[in-house]
A and B are shown apart, each in its own frame.
Chain A
Amino acid sequence: MSAAFRVVSEFVAGVIVGALLGWQFDKWLGTAPFALIGMLILGTASGFWNVYRLAARPSSPRQDDGR
């Protein structure tokens, strides 16, 4: 259960951070919804990337030299 929870939280965190970054960029640069949309997509991608990395090396992160 804790492994599943870890995967979920990694994924959700990616999406949340993407959304927050996009929102703040929009506020900062005044580029209506475009930064939000772009960063949301990027955040989702990085969420998947987090999950993939978790699945690719489930244990002992010290001994990874491949990938």
Chain B
Amino acid sequence: MAATEKVIDPIHQFQIVPLSGKIEILGHDYSFTNASLYMFIVVGIACVLMLYGTRKRAVVPGRLQAAMELFYEFTADTVVSTTGKDGLRFLPLVFSLFIFITISNYMGLIPGAFTVTSHIIVTFAFAMLVILTVVIYGMIRHGGHFFGLFVPPGVPKLLLPFISLIEMVSFLSRPVSLSMRLFANMLAGHIALKVFAGFIIMLSAAGGWAVLAPLPLLAMVAISALELLVCGLQAFVFAILTCIYLNDALHPGH
């Protein structure tokens, strides 16, 4: 793309291209796009890793099985330490979100691949799934007591309506901040990578300035390392915040 048009376009990688013909159901566009393809690939990788890794069910695990068990136990520990023992019923949800986000983040680091989590609609869908789980489960389990979440203890009567309003807006802002954080990290990281890669090309084409071209290359190496960290970290942050919000559903008005 950049070579043919002589333009370096760091946003191009986020374009959604329909791979199939246009599929319309009830007036909505359900075409199979590259985003859908990569989601299938991510789910496929997750399934293969987990099923293939644990196929032997060995008592003394092999390398892959040990890695998968580590991943699983790490998630389970996170869930138990943030929500308590009865939070374990949400382990499948948290674990699926965690493994999907982790793998799709790391998929995006492969050059030429599409990053599913760099689209806000995807991360927002995850966040809404989490928040709706919290609200619905909290309502079923605690009924009206769930709204004790909006009434923090030890607040003077005079301030209470105001504080509750603020708490409500703050609760509503959770899905936004949850989705925005993951999306913005992925977007910013990939754009930074592309921009620095563009610098290398521009500098090496600029005659004498080409001696400076290794500098952005070094920066690229550093940023790639940082991105490796950020990908894992953001998936973990998403998982742990999911646990913290689920904790509100399990134990409201702590």
Contact A46–B244 (Cβ < 8 Å)? no
- Complex CA–CA separation, A17 to B174 (angstroms): 9
Main secondary structure of the interface of B (DSSP, over half): helix
Chain A residues numbered 17-55 whose CB sits less than 8 Å from any CB in chain B = 17-18, 21, 39, 42-43, 45-47, 49-50, 53
Summed over the interface, the residue pairs from A and B with CB atoms below 8 Å come to a total of: 71
Of all chain B residues, the one with the shortest Cβ separation from A15 is B173
Q: Say yes or no: is B69 at the interface (Cβ < 8 Å to chain A).
A: no
Contact A13–B247 (Cβ < 8 Å)? no
Partner of A50, one of B154, B170, B180, B230: B170
Chain B interface residue count, Cβ-Cβ cutoff 8 angstroms:
27
Q: Say yes or no: is B204 at the interface (Cβ < 8 Å to chain A).
A: no
Contact B177–A10 (Cβ < 8 Å)? yes
Chain A interface residue count, Cβ-Cβ cutoff 8 angstroms:
27
Residues of A within 8 A of B (CB): 2, 5-6, 9-10, 12-14, 16-18, 21, 39, 42-43, 45-47, 49-50, 53, 60-62, 64-65, 67
Q: Which 3 A-B pairs have the closest CB atoms?
A: A13-B177, A46-B169, A46-B170
